[in-house]
Amino acid sequence: MLLDKNTIRERCLTAIKDEWTASPDSFPDFLEEIPEEIRTNNEQYIRMISDDFQKLLKSFPIHSRGRKKWKLKMQDMLGHVLLEETIIGAHFAMDQPTLGAFQDELKDFLLHVRRFAPELPLDGIAQATRNYIVYAMFNEIHQMKPGFSMAGFGYSMLYPFTDNFIDSPEYSDLEKRKYNRIIRDKLEGKEVRPLTLHQKKTCELLSAIESEYPRDSGSAIFTLLLMMLEAQEDSLRQQNKREALSLSERMDISLCKGGLSVLIDRFLVKKEITESDLTFYLGFGFFLQLADDLQDIKDDSMQGNQTILTMDLHCEQEEKIANKTLHFMNRISKGFHADNEAFMGFILSNCYQLIYSSVIGSREFFSQAYLDKLEKYLPVTYPFLENIKKNQMDTRDIKIQDKYMKIMDEMIF
């Protein structure tokens, strides 16, 4: 179908707002509780696998000698986990050859990341990888053959470069506007002269998208990317403490920014977009934006960021929004036909888990009664999650980050 600005903004975004309005704010009755026995087994499995991984990580050879053998052990362990773990359960929705192809695609992606931006920190690499996984999942939903996409790489890497810059309080509004001006000129096919390495690499990522979608092909990708840029520019209003945004305005910003970001991922799947696709993927993007805002309630409220979740910080209101988000995802998935229904079910299940974990990340804004109720749907108990969080290594430590980078490079090069 024809993708143009008016179709997306007027018809589809309106339909998604209608779905959100129609979604109840009561606790969902369609969620499935996880039996205590399964949670216990999950925790035992995680402890066992974590211990095995930690032992293997600690045994990483300092010198190159012996690393080949170590790498084979790590690959074998990762392969076994993917085929047997039941917490995420990817192997229930993907057969072994597909899982193998998916691993190879991610390896290619990481290889390109390290070559393109060796300075990118671990959290930036993780962010870009999550973005690429979203694109790869959409490929699987539509049963397209796995394989590295240069356009997918370029688009997934834009976020560590653009979003983090735009959202950072370290840069002035003027610097952000100049940065967005360069991006706009590049998208419009104008000649650009990047002034910094950051600007230069941003333009190179846009060129990576253009390598698969030439400008003279008439592709709608440039329309979508320009709309995404406008949505990012509009989202700066959320950081403006001099302008009080209404609930409707906050919703429009989240819907456009989140919806368009995911619609572009779907566009990169080389299969024609249907009307059903358009509504679902815009809605899915809105859902992911809500999950992200749900996780960041504390930081957003402290920084004065005006999201739907910081409008009213009382636990009753936050719980209603969490419930409504779960209902919303359930509603939009029912009206969508996936080519791979089994994999779609896998994604839906993990979407619910994403909301649970986001609530836990902002648990101080929810009542204990609500948290106790939600715990029944988690694959592990709260105390176990708290223990994992307590024992997590601080990857901001330069020495730890350097070690992990060396390990990652050994696995992908």
Q: Write the CA distances from 308 to 79, 108, 182, 243, 314, integer angstroms.
A: 40, 37, 30, 15, 13
**Which band of pLDDT confidence, cut at 50, 70 and 90, is reported for residue 239?**
confident
What's the CA gap between 412 and 338, in Å, rounded? 32
- Short-list 190, 198, 196, 111, CA closest to 158: 198
DSSP 183-220: HHHHHTT------SHHHHHHHHHHHHHHHHS-GGGT-T
| Cα distances (angstroms) measured from residue 66 to each of 26, 58, 291, 402, 408 | 57, 14, 43, 19, 16
Asked if residue 373 belongs to a domain, the reply is: yes
pLDDT score of 7: 85
What was the pLDDT predicted at 396? 62
pLDDT (0 to 100) of residue 163: 79
In a domain, 61, yes or no: no
The answer as to whether 83 is a domain residue is no
Q: How far apart are CA 242 and CA 229, in angstroms?
A: 22
Mean pLDDT across the stretch 98-117? 95
Predicted TM-score (pTM) of this structure: 0.92
Phi, psi of 381 (to 5 degrees): -85, 160
**Span of 83-87, 105-109, 124-128, 350-354 with lowest mean pLDDT:** 83-87
Residue 287's domain is classified under what CATH number? 1.10.600.10
Residue pLDDT, tens place only, 346-404: 999 999 999 999 999 999 999 999 999 999 999 999 889 888 877 765 556 777 788 88
For residue 129, being part of any structural domain is answered with: yes
For CA atoms 413, 116, 161, 351, give the dihedral sign.
negative
What is residue 380's predicted lDDT score, i.e. its pLDDT? 94
CA 182, CA 177: separation in Å to the nearest integer? 9
Q: Supply the pLDDT for residue 177.
A: 85
Q: What is the 3-state secondary structure (H, E, C) of 271-294?
A: CCCCHHHHHHHHHHHHHHHHHHHH
Per residue in 130-146, pLDDT tens? Answer: 999 999 999 999 999 88
Does position 218 have pLDDT exceeding 80, yes or no? no
In a domain, 74, yes or no: no
Tokens 């409220």 belong to which residue? 301
What average pLDDT does the structure give for the chain? 92
Whose tokens are 């679902």? That residue is 280
Better-scored residue on pLDDT, 307 or 3? 307
Domain count, the chain: 1
- The domain in which residue 298 lies consists of 5-31+88-380
Span 268-278, average pLDDT: 92
25 is a domain residue:
yes
Cβ neighbourhood burial of 183 (10 Å; 0-12, 13-18, 19+): buried
Position 86 pLDDT exceeds 90: no
Is there a domain that residue 299 lies in? yes
Question: Which one has a higher pLDDT value, 88 or 10?
Answer: 88
Amino acid 394: pLDDT:
57
Give the percent of the chain with pLDDT over 70.
Answer: 98
Q: What pLDDT does residue 168 have?
A: 80
pLDDT interval class at 185 (50, 70, 90): very high
Helix axes 173-187, 221-235, angle to 10 degrees: 170
- The per-residue pLDDT for range 293-314, each reduced to its tens digit, is 999 999 999 999 999 999 999 9
CA-to-CA distance for 63 and 196, rounded, in angstroms? 36
Q: What is the chain's percent helix, strand, coil content, to nearest 5?
A: 75, 0, 25
Q: Residue 65: pLDDT above 90?
A: no
Average pLDDT value for residue range 193-219: 91
Q: Which pLDDT value is given to residue 390?
A: 74
Q: What pLDDT score does 403 carry?
A: 83
CA separation for the pair 124, 119 (Å, rounded): 10
Is 44 within the bounds of a domain? no
pLDDT of residue 139: 95
pLDDT confidence of residue 395: 56
Q: Per mean pLDDT, which range of 55-64, 109-118, 344-353 is the poorest? A: 55-64
